[in-house]
Amino acid sequence: MYAQLVKSEGVKSRDEMSPEEIAFQERIDRGEKIEPKEWMPEGYRKTLIRQIGQHAHSEIVGQLPEGNWITRAPTLERKAILLAKVQDEAGHGLYLYSAAETLGVSRDELLERLHSGKMKYSSIFNYPTLTWADIGAVGWLVDGAAIMNQVPLQRTSYGPYSRAMIRICKEESFHQRQGYDIMMKMCAGTPEQKAMAQDALNRFWYPALMMFGPSDKDSVHSAQSMAWKIKMNTNDELRQKFVDQTVPQAEYLGLTIPDENLKWNEEKGGYDFSEPDWSEFFAVIAGNGPCNAERLGARVKAWEDGAWFREGLMAHAEKARSRRIAAE
């Protein structure tokens, strides 16, 4: 997902836990929310910082592929909708950085870790948006996959994270509907528009499936996070739900999911489908996706070019403060 590969420790058994840890786990099991000033295991804090940080970074890097089409949006209304969407994503970044700050890490520190490559953002944003249909596909599939993950996270154990998710989910479902609306227009449009829509689905389908992270059998870090209710479902559960939800939506559009193995499995009550190419996923995570250099480069440039601006504002605040003191 937006936090696809979050490292955490292996799950602790009850015998290995200190009395504090046992009490903490019992609170979580009772469904209580953990608040910033309360005691928490160091591992819980660290894992949350990584996860919320990755999620925040994904929101702000996620502005870029969609921002890529703002100046070329085909109508004034579409332009306004896309601007509002990208603005929302920046807002999501802001809530999430604030949630992370309650755990004792500053936004600037997290950004430094992003810029130096120590922290990641979702692999999906390293794919290019080549046509207007890609803006539809991103809303439909990428925001759709994000919702799939974030709706259960509204119940996550950490209070500030849970509250951020509640605010964010409302807006994400708007985004998904707007994306699907673009796809509907394209599919009901000229043959070229329909072809553009199919092409967008072809390119975004597997990267969207990758958003849920590697298969559970390869994901060693899940168990502790699930015990802590930082992670609410396994990667494979969410991916299956996403496929089951998306296939009928594609059919309604008259588009073909680019998977020859896709078929309904009566027994499990869900679709069988092909796994994405995980070697591609790990290559993208390692920095070798089609747009990694541009995306991270754009963020680093924005930060570095903006240094004088941030310093100017701080210097002014300092001057204003000393003038106030002098006047008193």
- Enumerate binding residues for Fe ion (CB under 5 A): 59, 89, 92, 143, 146, 172, 175
Nearest to 241 by CA among 267, 271, 218, 205: 271
Tokens of 113: 């870790």
Q: Which entry of Fe ion, another protein, none binds 64, CB below 5 to 8 A by partner kind?
A: another protein
Distance, CA of 114 to CA of 297 (rounded, Å): 11
Q: Which entry of another protein, Fe ion, none binds 309, CB below 5 to 8 A by partner kind?
A: another protein
**AA letter at 53:** G
Least distance from another protein to the Cβ atom of residue 320, Å: 8
Least distance from another protein to the Cβ atom of residue 138, Å: 14
- Is residue 10 exposed (0-12), middle (13-18) or buried (19+ Cβ within 10 Å)? exposed
Q: Which is nearer to another protein, 17 or 70 (CB)?
A: 70
Count of Cβ atoms closer than 10 Å to residue 313 Cβ: 10
Least distance from another protein to the Cβ atom of residue 235, Å: 28
Are 164 and 99 a contacting pair, CB within 8 Å? yes
Q: Which is nearer to Fe ion, 143 or 259 (CB)?
A: 143
Least distance from Fe ion to the Cβ atom of residue 91, Å: 8
Least distance from Fe ion to the Cβ atom of residue 250, Å: 20
Q: Which is nearer to another protein, 127 or 132 (CB)?
A: 132
DSSP structural state of residue 141 = I
Which residues lie near another protein (CB under 8 A)?
60, 63-64, 67, 70-80, 83-84, 86-87, 90-91, 93-94, 97, 107, 132, 182, 185-186, 189-190, 192-193, 298, 301-303, 305-317, 319
Least distance from another protein to the Cβ atom of residue 260, Å: 31
Q: Which is nearer to another protein, 25 or 68 (CB)?
A: 68
Q: Which is nearer to another protein, 92 or 120 (CB)?
A: 92
The length of the chain is 328
Distance, CA of 287 to CA of 224 (rounded, Å): 27
Are 246 and 180 a contacting pair, CB within 8 Å? no
* Backbone φ, ψ for residue 270 (5° rounding): -160, 175
